[in-house]
Amino acid sequence: MSVYKETLLLKRDFGGLVILFVMPLILIITITLIQDGTYKSMSDVKIPILLVDNDNDTISKTVRKNLNESGSFEVLSQLKGKNITEEIAQDAVFKGKYQLAIIIPEKLSSDLQLKVNQNVDRIVSSFGLTDSTSTNVKNQTIEPKEIKLYFDPATQLSFKNGVKNAIDKMISQIETRSIYTTFQEQLGEGDEPVFEQESFISFKEIVPTINNKEILPNSVQHNVPAWTLFAIFFIVVPLSINIVKEKSQGTLVRLITNPVPYAVVIAGKTATYLVICMIQFYLMVAVGVFLFPHIGLPALDVNGKLFLMSIVAIFAGLAAVGFGILLGTLAKTQEQSAPFGATSVVILAAMGGVWIPVFAMPKVMQFIAHISPMNWGLNAFYDVLLRNGGILEILTEISLLLLFFIITVTIAIAYDKKKRAV
C-alpha cells in the first residue's frame, strides 16, 4: 500500500515526473554530442589556428603539412587578406579570437641543417674521415632557436599539453631525418636512402575483445553509464522533498503513530523510488541503443551486458535512495533539502569521476573519489561495458553500494528515533 501511495503521489506531480525522466534524457544527449569529438579520431570540427611562418623553408612546410593532415586544425597564415605578424597573432589569441598561434622563427630550417652538419662533421672527423671543406662550418656559432606558441588564456590545460606534445614530436622527427640525411651525405652514399628513417619503436594499443571483436571506447560507452548514474542519484532531490513534506504536512505523525513499523514505510519509499531509478536507467539505455545512431553518434553496445548493467543500476539506485532518505530525514525544510540534494549530487559526480577521470585528479581527491558511491557505480559500469567484466569483477563495487544504502538508512532511522527522544 505504501508503494501504491508513493506511486500516486509521483503520478500527481506531473512536472516532477517530467523532470525526473525527460531532463536526464536531454542531459545525456547533449553531453554525449558535445563530448563525442573528444573520442573520435577524426573530428568533424576543425580548430582554426594562426601560423606565422618566418622560416619559409622545409620545417615550416612540414609543420603546416602535418597540421593540415591531422584533420583537427585549420591553419591560417592570413587574416583579412594580410599576412599575419607575430604581434597580430599574439593580439588575436590573447583576446580569445583564436585558441593558438604558432610562430616559426627565421632561418629555422637552414640553421638546424647547419647545426646538424656541425655535429655530424665532428663525429665523422673523430673517425678520421675529415672533410677539409667543412672547417668553416665547424667554427660557426649557431644560436638555439625557439618556436613560440601563444595560447588563449582560457584554453584548457589538456588541449595545451596535447598541442605542445604534437609539435615537439613533429620537430624531433624533422631533426632526426635531418641527421640521417646529413650522415648519408657525409659518407657519400648517394641519393638513395641508406638509413631507415621510419621509427623503429612504435606503440600498439591492445584493447579488450569479445568474440575476437575489439571493444573500442567511444563517447557513448563512457557517457551513458556516467550520466545515467548522475540521473539516478538525482532521485535524492524528489525523495528528500517527499520526506520533508511528510514532516511539514503532519502525515509523518500518522506514519509514526500507526502500528506499521517505520522501516516498512521506508521500504515502501525505497521500492517506489528504485523502480523510478530503473525506469530512468532503461530509458537512458534505450536512447543510447536506438536514438544515438540516428543523430550521428555510435550506438551503445549492450550485447550480453544488459543483465549485469541492470544489477549495477539496482545497487546504484539503492545507494541513491539511501542518500535521499538520509537527507530527507536530516533536513527540516524543502529549502534545505532541495539545494543541498542537487549540489551534493553534483559534488559526488565530480568526485566520482563523471567529468574528470579519477587518475587525473590530485592525490587527495583520488582518495576521496574511492570513497564516493558514484565512483563505485561508475567503475562497475565500466567493468561491464569497457573491461568485459563479469559478476565477480563488479562484486566489490555493488557490495559497497549496498553497504552505503544500509548505512544511510540506518543512520536516518536512528536519527529519527533520537530526535523524537529529545
Angstrom distance (rounded) from CA 250 to CA 381 = 41
Tell me which stretch binds other proteins (CB under 8 A): 4-12, 29-37, 166-174, 329-337: 4-12
Asked if 161 is part of the footprint of other proteins (rule: CB under 8 A), the reply reads no
Choose between 80 and 418: whose C-beta lies nearer to other proteins.
418
Shortest CB 243 distance to other proteins, Å: 13
Report the residue from 138, 213, 254, 387 that binds other proteins according to the rule CB under 8 A.
254
Asked if 286 is part of the footprint of other proteins (rule: CB under 8 A), the reply reads no
Tell me which stretch binds other proteins (CB under 8 A): 65-73, 243-251, 357-365, 395-403: 243-251
Subset of residues 391 to 420 that bind other proteins, contact rule: CB under 8 A: 420
Shortest CB 19 distance to other proteins, Å: 16
Shortest CB 247 distance to other proteins, Å: 10
Angstrom distance (rounded) from CA 278 to CA 405 = 16
Beta strand 73-76 with 78-79 is unpaired
Choose between 233 and 273: whose C-beta lies nearer to other proteins.
273
> If we measure between CA atoms, which residue out of 102, 43, 50, 103 comes closest to residue 75?
50
Asked if 251 is part of the footprint of other proteins (rule: CB under 8 A), the reply reads yes
Helix (H, G, I), strand (E, B) or coil at 209: strand
Subset of residues 10 to 49 that bind other proteins, contact rule: CB under 8 A: 12-13
Asked if 1 is part of the footprint of other proteins (rule: CB under 8 A), the reply reads yes
Shortest CB 420 distance to other proteins, Å: 5
Q: Could you tell me the three cell numbers for 79?
A: 587574416
Asked if 261 is part of the footprint of other proteins (rule: CB under 8 A), the reply reads yes
Report the residue from 22, 123, 260, 360 that binds other proteins according to the rule CB under 8 A.
260
Residue 84, φ and ψ in degrees, nearest 5: -85, 135
How far is CA 400 from each of CA 44, 206, 266, 351, rounded to the nearest angstrom?
Answer: 41, 30, 20, 16
Choose between 294 and 420: whose C-beta lies nearer to other proteins.
420
255-265 burial, b for 16+ CB within 10 Å, e for fewer?
eeeeeeeeeeb
Angstrom distance (rounded) from CA 394 to CA 420 = 39
| C-alpha dihedral sign at 348, 353, 356, 361 | positive
Helix (H, G, I), strand (E, B) or coil at 312: helix
Binding site for other proteins (CB under 8 A): 1-2, 4-5, 8-9, 12-13, 249-251, 253-261, 420-422
